[in-house]
Amino acid sequence: MGSDNKPSGKVVRVSTTSRTYDVYVAPGILDSCGELISKAAGGEHALVVSETNVAPLYLERVASSLVSAGYEVSSHIFPAGEASKRAGTWAACLEAAAKAGLTRDDVIVALGGGVTGDIAGFAGASYMRGCAVAQIPTSLLAMVDSSVGGKTAIDLAAGKNLAGAFWQPRVVIADPRCLSTIGHDLFTDSCGEVIKHGVLADPNLFESLETKPLNAPGYDEAMLTDIIARNVEIKRNVVDADERERGLRQTLNLGHTIGHAVEAASDFTLGHGTCVALGLCAIARAAAAMGELAKQDSERVERVVAAHGLPTDTDLDHETVVRLAHSDKKRHGDGVNVVLPRAIGSVEVRRMSMGEFAELVDAGCGTATCGTTAHLA
């Protein structure tokens, strides 16, 4: 990617059953997005979907690049925040696509974090029964996780991500320089998914996070680009093997079963990455108590989460955790599939009854040995 005046960086190819596409990770690549989207998706019209925090920062640059690539550009902006990830926002996005005159040969461009990627991706999956989607993630969480793999969803009153579709993008364009405009707290929240990927599949990544927290001062562009690309590779390896979460892809839910319950109990005031980190610590402690994970590895997980300034435990009562997990989309029948860490870099999906899961919650929640506790009213 160093030729033709393109910014230097990394390209990760994703090859799923339904589509093959490239993920570009490079500083400054945002201004080349139009050319990359045109090459990958084609079409004449582009609808840029963004939210009220991100649009003022990047919409003009993205639209300019799209126009230069020959697109007729429209935009749709919705209020920032998880509260917007509902059916009304999705429907408004569809109406905006129709008003802009998009056909199934045109493209919807998701410009923003995970909520934007979900809304725009689900709209792309459903507009005219499917049109092209390009993902331009602007948060670390979206870059390393949600923009890759084609999972799109909205929240329902009963729970998070309960309606959606698998719809792979045509291209993902991640510019690490966009991270300079997000606050430290949001960046820290996103570190939860990066830590999860280390525990899931890469001891070297985990060790690098132990050596120096990702949110510590001093990460230059090249280092950050490499970290983002490595996370994309980890997710790519799983998604390529199991696009629709029937087996291996469930391992990406490490930390999510308890994490989602805490996130829902907080009415989504706690960030997703924060809750994943908390859930990761809880499941590691429970796995150690069950004899499935060495205690020293459980302690390493807690220490690296604490070093990033993320909570390692919750004071939420255990009955609430179990009840909310029971309503989560990851539940199967009367049980739940739980991802257990077996070592740093190795996990196992274990089918549990809700009674067994309740015992796991008792062992893992309220038992932290270091770090902070996320307090819920």
Q: What are the domain boundaries of the chain?
A: 10-181, 185-374
Which of the following is catalytic: 85, 196, 272, 285? Answer: 272
Q: How far apart are CA 78 and CA 325, in angstroms?
A: 29
Which of the following is catalytic: 235, 236, 285, 308? Answer: 235
Q: How far apart are CA 178 and CA 317, in angstroms?
A: 38
Which of the following is catalytic: 45, 170, 230, 260? Answer: 260
Spatial neighbors of 111 by CB under 8 A, at least 6 apart, are 48, 49, 50, 54, 55, 58, 59, 62, 136, 138
Contact predicate 350/363, CB 8 Å: no
Burial class, 253, CB count within 10 angstroms (exposed 0-12 / middle 13-18 / buried 19+): buried
Alpha carbon separation from 375 to 63, 303, 311, 325, 328 (Å, rounded): 42, 19, 9, 18, 21
Highest mean pLDDT among 61-65, 246-250, 269-273, 349-353: 61-65
The DSSP element (H or E) to which 289 belongs, if any, is helix 272-289
Spatial neighbors of 5 by CB under 8 A, at least 6 apart, are none
Which of the following is catalytic: 245, 299, 356, 359? Answer: 245
Which of the following is catalytic: 51, 76, 85, 193? Answer: 193
- If one counts every other C-beta atom within 10 angstroms of the C-beta of residue 259, the result is 28
The residue-averaged pLDDT of 276-304 equals 97
Q: Is 245 a catalytic residue?
A: yes
Which of the following is catalytic: 151, 170, 285, 308? Answer: 151
Which of the following is catalytic: 160, 249, 285, 308? Answer: 249
Which of the following is catalytic: 53, 215, 231, 253? Answer: 253
Which of the following is catalytic: 76, 196, 236, 256? Answer: 256
**Identity at 317, one-letter amino acid code:** D
Q: How far apart are CA 188 and CA 51, in angstroms?
A: 21
Q: Which pLDDT does position 174 carry in this prediction?
A: 98
Q: How far apart are CA 197 and CA 203, in angstroms?
A: 9
Listing DSSP states for 136-158 in one string gives EE-SHHIIIIITSS-EEEEEETT
Contact predicate 219/140, CB 8 Å: no
Q: Is 235 a catalytic residue?
A: yes
303-349 per-position pLDDT tens digit: 999 999 999 999 999 999 999 888 765 555 678 999 999 999 999 99
Q: What CATH number was assigned to the domain covering residues 10-181?
A: 3.40.50.1970
Q: What CATH number was assigned to the domain covering residues 185-374?
A: 1.20.1090.10
Spatial neighbors of 205 by CB under 8 A, at least 6 apart, are 194, 197, 198, 227, 230, 231, 234
Handedness of CA 73, 34, 125, 330 (dihedral sign): negative
Alpha carbon separation from 166 to 41, 133, 149, 201 (Å, rounded): 18, 12, 8, 23
The residue-averaged pLDDT of 63-85 equals 97
Q: Is 318 a catalytic residue?
A: no
| pTM confidence score | 0.91
Q: Is 253 a catalytic residue?
A: yes
Q: Is 350 a catalytic residue?
A: no
Name the average pLDDT for the chain: 93
The DSSP element (H or E) to which 47 belongs, if any, is strand 45-51
Q: Is 197 a catalytic residue?
A: no
Q: Is 348 a catalytic residue?
A: no
Closest CA to 279 of 349, 360, 353: 360
The residue-averaged pLDDT of 125-154 equals 96
Confidence of residue 360 (pLDDT cuts 50, 70, 90): very high
Q: How far apart are CA 80 and CA 126, in angstroms?
A: 22
Tokens for 196? 């999860």
Q: Which pLDDT does position 244 carry in this prediction?
A: 84
Q: How far apart are CA 261 and CA 319, in angstroms?
A: 11
Q: Is 72 a catalytic residue?
A: no
Relative to beta strand 10-15, strand 20-25 is antiparallel
